[in-house]
Structure 1
Amino acid sequence: MAKDKKSSSTENGASGRKGPKIANDAYEAELFRLQSELVKVQQWTQATGARIVVLFEGRDAAGKGGAIKRITEYLSPRVARIAALPAPTERERGQWYFQRYVQHLPAAGELVLFDRSWYNRAGVEKVMGFCTDEEYWRFMRQAPVFEQMLIDEGVLLRKYWFSVSDAEQLKRFRSRLSDPVRQWKLSPMDLESINRWEDYSRAKDEMMAHTDVPASPWFVVESDIKKHARLNMIAHLLSTIPYHDVPHERIELPERPASSRSYQRPPRELSTYVPDHVASLLGDPEADR
């Protein structure tokens, strides 16, 4: 895979050549088509016992969470799980580095999406000094070996790097400042990433040099336009999985049996109902009473 040789200020190589944006109706139609195919992947995964692991890495505010949300929107949480691990505990810091991630790997018939993964060590831990040089270089040696073990075991491993320009990242950070439902996405670590843009760029380049290997390559998703990034990433993921339609029995709803006169519903007064908040929005003076 060709490495990114752009300057750190235009990491994704897309700045200045965004081109036209997809229309909303076209985006929604194609997204739904892709999501319908993801449902087929889910059925195929369950039927064949496949194990799928997808890693989502990239800059803060690069759109990883939005892509994960669209992938899982119509999937069963019992089949498609999201692994978003918090900071390691004291006990986990004393384990083999990959150990805390192993327990989240899929069993037969499961798909696991890692919202950040073991590559934390190659990114934030390296840049912020949360690991030693010895730990960092041990990770660089072990990561390809660990991933080869997963592949040899039959796991379908896919790695995506969401690449965003510094200007677009800053724009998204600023939009979160005034958004009451997204302010929680801004952490001190996110803000520090602004000052350390070039450090993160060097860390990403070093990571790619050691872990972008033929057996488990990195796929770069240009994400300055979120909708394009989602469609491109999901379409690519589908193209790499050898799924097919799984035959299933036709489902027919039975006729509702005739009501039995022996059952009488208890009076409404015996139950506590939530207030009719919607009625208050419609101007009903009796609402919420």
Structure 2
Amino acid sequence: MDKKLYEQELYRLQTELVKLQSWVRAENARLVVVFEGRDAAGKGGTIKRVAEHLNPRVARIVALPAPTERERTQWYFQRYVEHLPAAGEIVLFDRSWYNRAGVEHVMGFCTPAEHRRFLQQCPIFERLLVEDGVLLRKYWFSVSDAVQEQRFRRRLEDPTRRWKLSPMDLESITRWEAYSRAKDDMLVHTDIPEAPWYVVESDDKRSARINMIAHLLSTVPYRDVPPPQLELPARPAATGYERPPRELQTFVPDHAGSLTQSQHPPS
């Protein structure tokens, strides 16, 4: 997708997301958006663009670490329930309870019985959420094996993005077909009318972000909620306050100034 067109449309959609946020607050709605997909499929970048201009007190990202020993003894969905939104909130799950259908199942972190139980309970769990009024949207980001490998290589070579690559991610290359079968099995059991899966083709990251955000907005019956009218007050007259001398405070060094000076030395 052309970069200029992408940036124009992304800004327009992000403006609509701010309207959606205002509607969620005004209507005391509860919105849950689940982001799932293969490693390096573009989930994180899309979540970043969705949340970029939203109020973090209203819209929060949930990306849970591996469960603790105590959490492993709980009902599987229990650790996720406490992160569900209250009235007027949006929650974006950067991976979710579907870990059990994917990485836990493929890597052997859960038993076959636990995996079967998840596939049986998940539709029930999600129907309960929807019946209680939660707006639940589920997106699966699909990426080809060739594009995934390209993105992994770029992460290896970029020191600012190397943290995104873990040994578990590299395992996904050798277990490509196992993850494919797990995904197919997951969709068969959990693609239900009350909470359907929406697949996002994400070989082109820009298109994937635009398509996902546009679709999310199209599925929520939000409306424009006019913001309160605000006016800047007049600044009161000075009353004699004097700032303390600069030498009494510790300032960070002017690194930016030194860079500018090195590029444009005095003649």
Instruction: Give the deviation of 1:283 after TM superposition.
Output: 2.1
How many residue pairs get aligned? The number is: 263
Residue 48, structure 1, aligned to residue 27, structure 2 = yes
Alignment match, 1:172: 151
Match for 2:163 among 157, 171, 184?
184
Paired residue for 1:228? Answer: 207
Number of the residue aligned with 2:111: 132
Task: Name the counterpart of 2:242.
Answer: 264
Cα deviation, residue 254, structure 1: 1.3
Which of the residues 37, 45, 52 maps onto 1:73?
A: 52
Deviations 1:94-125 (A, max 9, x none): 00000000000000000000000000000001
Question: 1:106-160, CA deviations, whole angstroms, 9 ceiling, x for partnerless residues?
Answer: 0000000000000000000110011111100000000000000000010000000
Partner of 1:151: 130
Deviation of 1:215 (Å): 1.0
**AA paired with 1:147?**
E
Matched position secondary structure for 1:33 = helix
Deviations 1:177-230 (A, max 9, x none): 110010011101000000000000000000000001111100000000000000
C-alpha separation between the residues in 1 aligned to 2:130 and 2:136? Answer: 7
CA distance in 1, matches of 2:164, 2:39: 9
TM-score (ref. length: structure 2): 0.97
Letter in 2 for 1:264: E
Q: What is the CA-CA distance between 1:45 and the residue it aligns to?
A: 0.8
For the structure 1 residues 24 and 211, does the alpha-carbon distance in structure 2 shift closer, same or farther, using more than 3 Å as the test? same
Name the structure where helix makes up a greater proportion of residues: 2
Q: Is the partner of 1:180 in helix, strand or coil? A: coil
Aligned-partner residue type, residue 189 of structure 1? M
- Equivalent residue for 1:15? none
- Aligned position for 1:204: 183
Superposed CA offset, 1:65-119 (max 9, x none) = 0000000000111100100000000000000000000000000000000000000
Q: 1:266, 1:130 → 2: CA distance?
A: 60
1:279 aligns with 2:257: yes
> Shift of residue 260 of structure 1?
1.6
**Whole-angstrom CA distance in 2 between matches of 1:280 and 1:264:** 29
1:10 aligns with none
Deviation, structure 1 residue 25: 1.1
In the other structure, the counterpart of 2:195 is 216
Show structure 1 runs of 5+ residues with no match.
1-21
Once the two structures are superposed, the pairs formed by residues 228-247 of structure 1 within 5 Å of their partners are: 228-247=207-226
| Aligned residues with identical type, % of pairs | 70
Secondary structure of the residue aligned to 1:283 is: helix
> Could you say which residue in structure 2 is the equivalent of 1:16?
none
How much has 1:284 moved relative to structure 2?
Answer: 5.9
> Counterpart of 1:143 in 2: which secondary structure?
helix
Which residue does 2:231 correspond to in 1?
252
Q: Distance in 2 between matches of 1:225 and 1:134?
A: 37
Residue 141 of structure 1: which of 120, 135, 159 is its match? 120
Secondary structure class of the residue paired with 2:261 = coil
Please, what is the CA RMSD of the aligned residues? 1.0
